[in-house]
Chains A and B, each alone.
Chain A
Amino acid sequence: MSTDPEPTKQTDERSLSRKEFLKGVGRSALLIGIGAGGYAWWARITSQFTRRREPVGDARHNYSMAIDIEKCIGCGFCVEACSKENNVPPGHFRTWIERYEVMKDGSVRINSDDGGINGFSDDVRAEDVERAFFVPKLCNHCTDSPCTQVCPVGATFKTEDGVVLVDYDWCIGCRYCIQACPYGSRFWNPVKRTADKCTLCYHRIRKGQVPACVEVCPTGARVFGDLADPESPVSKFMRENATLVMKPHLKTGAKIAYKGMSKEVV
């Protein structure tokens, strides 16, 4: 009725007593518990009906790559080959090369013009350079990758053979994974409108080939193989050389191992 004073809920008999408050909390906890339990029960029931078929990625393999910094000449053929093999849009990089120049005055110059896709040329006087080297970088295919952890829909994942992939038909393009990668390995693909990154040329390695970057490297700076096979090139490399991974303190389980790492590498 229009003359009924709007209950402002301030009268004494309506004020919330502690007992009511606790009852309310108890009831809500019970409801939440029932809800959660019900969902878990339903999920278990329905999972029994999911077919479990032969996995495509083979768990007997664990593909990885190792980089020998002392052999990289910065020619950029790897970046170019990757770009062509995988239709990488210009300006974006599944792999790239960084040049580090430690100058005689102590400063460190780092550059990567266009990812090194056209190689490098001298940009400072050689006599001012104390020490310099090239570092190829790519996705580290981490075993505890922060990128797969944060994907909200399950569009990026690690296969059973150790490669982190993006499902281009499921990715919603939220870009959280690109933010989460501590190495800057991921990028936004403006053509697919999804996240994208190095796939270790999964389409090649599943057919017994090596990744395109490994194929064209003239000095053998990139070493590919199956960590589960002790005779594979990468396993031998890891046995015979002291290697480091990038940003180990973040415990990402990064797999790409670098020989000849130096403190200037970011």
Chain B
Amino acid sequence: MDLGMLLAETSGYVLPNEKELQWSVLIVLYPYLTGLVAGAFILASLVRVFNSKPVAPVYRLALLTALAFLICAPMPLIGHLGHPERAFQIMATPHLSSAMAMFGFVYAWYLMAVLLLEIYFDYRKEMVAWAQSSRGLKRLLYTVLTLGVMDTSEKAVRFDDRAGRFITIIGIPSAALLHGYVGFIFGSVKGNPWWSSVLMPLIFLLSAIVSGIAAVLVIYMAINWYRRQPHDMKCLNAIGRYLMFALIFDLSLEALDVVHRMYEAGEWFEILGLLGSGYLYYTIFGIQFFLGGIFPLVNLALAQFLKASDATRQRVYFFSGLLVLIGVLCMRWNVVIGGQLFSKSLQGLTTYRLELVGGEGALVAIGVLFLPLAILFVLAKILPPWKAHEEARA
């Protein structure tokens, strides 16, 4: 933040140190990315733990999507730090009273003990086959990925399966923790009335699940178009249904939060009302609630209950998924940026100037958003998520 930010337009009385925002668009992205991870994983767990047969075709894709986003998740955080070279300190000396300190261990736990292990157990048998049927660097890669365990006897495979299921069970609360703690980071700040709320971790988690399901849905359809494969309509319909139910839960809680605040009307009511009816009006009610929430929800509901052609349903799913993704990103914006647009004096507002270039600018943000897709592309090449399933169908 440079001197330019200090000249941000303010209205009313803003405390002298609060004219410039502390947390930029990069901090908006972090909860978004971890939310996608948690949501994609929950979708995968629907297959493994709750036996949702129709969603099985996207099981592996969901895991790889989660991994791609998880790899990118720390990037906006490290990019935002004043001293990124000291980032390791969060693991070396985690201050246990700080929700943010949980990041180091929750992230490491989720990456290694949950996601990587689950992918390992699910793919190991094929990785052995791929290692044995290829040469050179490829063979080395797959051998390393199997950790050198080339045993494909029934005992080993059965262990893979059992262990994978066990990991998924642990993975569900772990995913909830991975994203829930981010909501707690905001919800526990008693000095900020926009953030301070018991509902915050819940709202974050539910919107994460919504965004993760939507992401897998959109990516699945995009990949099918790219590979000129037909969509599995049973799968799409099932995902659409889950997305619809998740949206209902999520929007209910978000609406409850708004209604509750308007009813309680504490000392913060005036300034937050000014924010909600002014600067943030279109992003909260226009995009987060309507365009990214109610509109896709109605479309998804209609697709469930009305007779429609497969083509129509596909269009509905794809565009609803995209709208939901935009809506959840907007929700993160409204929380993170919104919470800094008013002063703790409760008497003034300031502005946020998102620059185009610069370390915390729009271009970097867009890069961080799309880099996981590039990583997913590479992951899908190494660990194809569809081969075996299609062969089974053929």
Interface on A for B, CB 8 Å cutoff? 1-3, 5-10, 14-16, 20-21, 24-25, 27-28, 91-93, 96, 98, 110-112, 114-115, 146, 149-154, 170-176, 178-188, 190, 192-194, 247, 250, 266
Contact = CB atoms under 8 A, between A and B. Distances in A.
A6 B388 contact: yes
Contacts of A152: 90, 94-95, 98, 100-101, 103
Contacts of B3: 91
Contacts of A115: 16
Nearest to A173: B82
Interface string B31-62: 00000000000000001110101001001000
Contacts of B391: 2-3, 5-6
What's the interface size class on B, roughly?
35 or more
A24 B191 contact: no
A174 B90 CA distance: 10
B166 A27 contact: yes
A247 B103 CA distance: 30
Contacts of B190: 146, 182, 250
A7 B99 CA distance: 40
Given A110-B13, A184-B15, A184-B344, A193 B83 contact: yes
Interface of B: 1-3, 6, 13, 15-20, 22-23, 47-49, 51, 53, 56, 59, 77, 80-84, 86-87, 89-90, 93-95, 97-101, 103, 129, 161, 165-166, 169-170, 185, 189-192, 340, 343-347, 387-389, 391-392
A234 to B, nearest CB: 25
Contacts of B165: 9, 16, 20, 24
A15 B161 CA distance: 11
Nearest to B50: A16
Contacts of A111: 13
A28 to B, nearest CB: 5
A178 B22 contact: yes
Contacts of A114: 16
B13 A176 contact: no
Contacts of A93: 16-17
B81 A173 contact: yes
A183 B98 contact: no
